Chains A and B, each alone.
Chain A
Amino acid sequence: MGVIHVTDRAGQRHTLEAIEGWRVMEIIRDWGLPIEGLCGGACECATCHVFVDETWLDRLYPPTEEEEDQLDTVVTKPNSRLSCQIIWTPELDGLEVTLAPTGG
């Protein structure tokens, strides 16, 4: 087992126990942090948008064209990812992400 670190929109950092094979969105949601995940992980809504710490960015599988299309629907930074498209494995122990702001 391992953990991920999630900084919420108020700037508070949470350390969450991770489960292998779960989507990072699911881990965050399971621990009760405010992440919407409207479409349930189908890469169809971009409501699980996070910023991935720069040091981790290259260690993730690059986004698919489908994920890029969804990222087009939010205000991104270069380190934007959809957390439903990051499947947690032990290599991602200590992954550091920040919840992206939501629009009105």
Chain B
Amino acid sequence: MTDHIETDVVIIGAGPVGLFAVFELGLLDIKCHLVDILPKVGGQCAELYPEKPIYDIPGFPMVTGQGLVDNLMAQIEPFHPTFHLNEMVESLESIGTPEAPRFRLKTSENGTTFECKAVIIAAGGGSFQPKKPPIDNIEAYEGTGVFYAVRHMQMFRNKKVLIVGGGDSALDWTVNLQPITKRLTLLHRRDAFRAAPHTVEKMRSLVASGDMDLHLGQVGSLKGEAPVLEGAVIRKDDGSEFTVDCDVMLPFFGLTMKLGPVADWGLNLHENLIPVDTEKFETSVPGIFAIGDINTYPGKLKLILSGFHEGALAAQKVHRYVYPEKKLLFQYTTSSTSLQKKLGVAA
């Protein structure tokens, strides 16, 4: 066996529910690693609505998405969880028995391997991935003529590049790639951009000097015998169409959530959700738990507070797998010196 990380639990997803699970596990002396595809912790709270107020977190009349995440990070700090960001768990295999579960997980980006006694899936709506525009046959060009991210700028040297979108990614790559491309065209649906003003200004000056093109409209269809892209047919608001010649199209339409590899882990999914029991929030596979928005059971409410509760109960059963010989004593953080020691607040 090659190098792997040995831990008690791997939590998939570092959103609010995954973060709070660290706390509940930590009180029970259970160590964990968290994996998230985003470059930061907080899941939807941090990625979709960091500034939006949330009003239904117990004890917080109002807290923003990012505020909640910051507080959770402070709350779990005593347990020193290890984060693996920018990574997606690609495979999950069972290498134990139902009585003594053991799992091996592998991530896609760095190929990190974990071995653990329990897995908690707290993946919310799935993993954030680039939004793909609904254009006929776009898949046939992916990886050759269509890219949703720029990994190596040199790939686009001396190419005719069409960038689609009006946000930071679209504008940043427009000004960064323009100097090395043969011709760069930016396409957006309207003449307003939600990107850093100086980047928008730079783009406008490149257009004014004739060094790139800016068009308003939407991509209607793609041209060229797949997988070789030759052009994109642009549809304007008045219904007229024209073609932009391009070797490469880079659509930047933000992120969406896809279930991803979870679908392949044999968990008897129901409408893209993972059924669990409501005592332990365990899936059909002993040792694999699902908490938060990704699970389903009768009466399920997709609330952050439900996910917190689910994590607390799942932790109880996880304890049996991690410490099969130990009896679990139920304690309160208000009165238990041993819990307070763990939290670093004992007198």
Contact = CB atoms under 8 A, between A and B. Distances in A.
The prevalent SS among residues of B at the interface is: loop
- Contact-residue bracket for chain A: 20 to 34
A38 B125 contact: yes
Given A72-B166, A73-B167, A75-B218, A104 B132 contact: yes
Interface stretch (A15-23, A42-50, A52-60, A82-90): A42-50
Interface in B26-72: 44, 48-49, 52
Contact of A42 (B49, B190, B257): B49
Nearest to B253: A73
Interface in A31-48: 38-39, 42, 44-47
Given A38-B257, A73-B253, A75-B218, A102 B167 contact: no
Contact of B48 (A44, A72, A75): A44
A71 B194 contact: no
B256 A38 contact: yes
Given A75-B133, A76-B189, A104-B138, A45 B237 contact: no
A78 interface: yes
A78 B240 CA distance: 13
Interface of A: 38-39, 42, 44-47, 68-69, 71-78, 100-104
23 contacts: A38-B256, A39-B49, A44-B49, A68-B190, A68-B192, A71-B189, A72-B165, A72-B190, A73-B131, A73-B167, A73-B253, A76-B189, A76-B218, A77-B237, A100-B134, A101-B134, A103-B131, A103-B133, A103-B134, A103-B253, A104-B132, A104-B134, A104-B138
